[in-house]
Amino acid sequence: MDKYIIKGGNQLFGEVEISGAKNAAVAIIPAAMMVDGVVRLENLPQISDTDKLLQILELMGAQVRMVNPSTVDIDCSHVSLSNKIFSLTRSIRASYYLIGAMLGRFGKAKTTMPGGCNFGVRPIDQHVKGMKALGASISIGRGLINAETRDGRLRGARIYLDKVSVGATINIMIAAAMAEGLTVIENVAREPHIVDLANFLNSMGADVRGAGTDVIKIRGVRSLHGGTYALIPDQIEAGTYMTAVAAAGGEVRINNVIPRHLECISAKLREMGVTVEEQGDAVIVRRDGPLERANVKTQPYPGFPTDMQPQITTVLCMAQGTSVVTEGVWDNRYKYVNELRKMGAEITVSGKTAIIEGVNHLVGAPVAACDLRAGAAMVVAGLCAEGTTVVEDVVYIERGYQDIVGKLRALGADIVAVTEPDEPEQERRRENAG
Ligand code: UD1
């Protein structure tokens, strides 16, 4: 599907089900490679990133069987390293987790540098530092990553991350799960999907403690056994629907969430005059009055998530007064602002800061999804804009949002997906999206 056409102005009412967490799924699927036996994953999101990771495992020799659309059985008993995976590993960011998983499983790894959303330089030096500390030698050249251990097994080590990195924390956890001895990782990230990965590994027989704090201790085990695991709901998908209601107005019950994971988003929306009520595993979001200005700074969890920055900036475009958004994680995450300007937004960006002058309304326009969350922000903008918004390059959005069009239509939005024959340029983008 190439573009979404949105006629803005409909308020949103009803209920929406949140899918399993993308960022947990993209860590847990590679980790399943280390398990002896069948891993059953439930609450798996149906998105292109998870499809690609399952295909990678299949190309390596895994048996992958969909039990139903959100449950998969993965049997990695007969996997081996393969060059066939390279075009897929190049197209997604999370393929870097294969390094930790392959080292854990085979004592060596062979993959490519990861692809993924482009919001500035995305180094993997902390991943490499961690693998080296665990005893791997790593060479990177011509876009390929090769890693080896001297005797086929990693050894536990003490690792201090120089930067709080979600990816490095996860990759080292995966690698250390089957290393010999104790690994201690300090200054780690605390995102909900890090806890989810630890819970997954432990339920397969690993010994991981401290996930959710800033020190994680992993006592390596000889083998991991099969089992069933249900992924947590997606914090960012839920947050995106919360901002959609804030922008468009209305009242929506957002089901299958962990409200605690949403606290930073709920608190900010309340500050802006939106009602957010927690009810068990749901939040009810209502906006029937004007939006107030607010300042937002993105930070590692439990701070306001950088992956909600484009969506909240979009909502702030409609708030009364001047808001300031500061990006605290990435160097360059404001490319989408040019697209919002096409819709009448008044935003000035200086380095990591965006100053947003509230406008009465946005106006529909042709815009592009520059990356996954930027694309979600364009959809949020289109829902509340006057007139028609056409969002191009939605392949980025479909990396991380399961059936966003169907879910929004069920809430009363006027949004349709339009498929067009692939042009060479679109084909290229599709290959590179991830
Ligand atoms: C993950 C998320 C992404 C989110 C980000 C921050 C996944 C698949 N993706 O990305 O959606 O935006 O967390 O919440 O879970 N850094 C280094 N060296 C490294 C690694 C990271 O300097 O080796 C820096 C990055 O440039 C960035 C910061 O650390 O400034 C955080 O990056 P990190 O948490 O690693 O992001 P990802 O895991 O790539």
Tens-place pLDDT, residues 133-165: 999 999 999 889 999 999 999 999 999 999 999
Q: How confident is the model at residue 423 (pLDDT cuts 50, 70, 90)?
A: low
Closest atom of ligand 1 relative to the 128 alpha carbon: 23
Check residue 433 and give its pLDDT: 45
Residue 118 has pLDDT above 70, yes or no: no
Task: Kindly report the protein residue whose alpha carbon is nearest to atom 38 of ligand 1.
Answer: 167
**Rounded distance between C-alpha atoms, residue 201 and residue 104, angstroms:** 12
Q: Strand 108-112 to strand 346-350: parallel, antiparallel, or no bridges (unpaired)?
A: unpaired
Q: How far are the Cα atoms of 112, 121, 190, 320, 357 from residue 348, in angstroms, in the given order?
A: 37, 22, 31, 16, 9
295-332 burial by CB neighbour count: b if 16+ within 10 A, else e? ebbbbbbeebbbbbbbbbbbbbbbbeeebebebebbee
Task: Kindly report the protein residue whose alpha carbon is nearest to atom 3 of ligand 1.
Answer: 307
What the block records as the tokens of 106 is: 């085979």
DSSP designation for 304: B
Residue 314 has pLDDT above 60, yes or no: yes
Ligand 1 mutation pick, 92, 166, 264, max ligand atoms within 8 A of CB: 166
User: Is the CB of 123 within 6 Å of ligand 1?
Assistant: yes
Check residue 78 and give its pLDDT: 95
Check residue 119 and give its pLDDT: 55
Closest atom of ligand 1 relative to the 166 alpha carbon: 34
Q: How confident is the model at residue 196 (pLDDT cuts 50, 70, 90)?
A: very high
Phi/psi of residue 55, each to 5°? -65, -40
Check residue 360 and give its pLDDT: 85
What the block records as the tokens of 244 is: 């959609």
Check residue 2 and give its pLDDT: 87
Cα angle 396, 399, 74 (rounded to 5 degrees) comes to 160
User: Over the chain, what is the mean pLDDT?
Assistant: 95
**Rounded distance between C-alpha atoms, residue 52 and residue 406, angstroms:** 22
Residue 429 has pLDDT above 80, yes or no: no
Check residue 434 and give its pLDDT: 39
User: Is the CB of 13 within 6 Å of ligand 1?
Assistant: no
User: Is the CB of 168 within 6 Å of ligand 1?
Assistant: yes
Phi/psi of residue 393, each to 5°? 60, 40
**Rounded distance between C-alpha atoms, residue 280 and residue 344, angstroms:** 39
Q: How confident is the model at residue 349 (pLDDT cuts 50, 70, 90)?
A: very high
Radius of gyration over alpha carbons of the chain, in Å? Answer: 21
Pick the catalytic residue: 76, 117, 370, 384? Answer: 117
Ligand 1 mutation pick, 22, 92, 99, 122, max ligand atoms within 8 A of CB: 122
Least confident of 141-150, 180-189, 301-310, 314-323: 141-150
- Once rounded to an integer, what is the mean pLDDT over residues 304-330? 97
Cα angle 408, 375, 431 (rounded to 5 degrees) comes to 115
Q: How far are the Cα atoms of 116, 118, 183, 231, 432 from residue 49, in angstroms, in the given order?
A: 10, 15, 29, 15, 12
Residue 237 has pLDDT above 70, yes or no: yes
**Rounded distance between C-alpha atoms, residue 323 and residue 122, angstroms:** 28
117 is catalytic: yes
User: Is the CB of 309 within 6 Å of ligand 1?
Assistant: no
| Selection from 232, 239, 155, 160 nearest residue 197 by Cα | 232
| Spatial contact of 190 and 231, defined as CB atoms under 8 Å apart | no
Q: How far is the CA of 5 from the centre of ligand 1 (A)?
A: 32
Residue 318 has pLDDT above 80, yes or no: yes
- Once rounded to an integer, what is the mean pLDDT over residues 231-237? 98
Residue 246 has pLDDT above 70, yes or no: yes
Can you name the residues that pair with 283 across neighbouring β-strands? 254, 278
Closest atom of ligand 1 relative to the 163 alpha carbon: 29
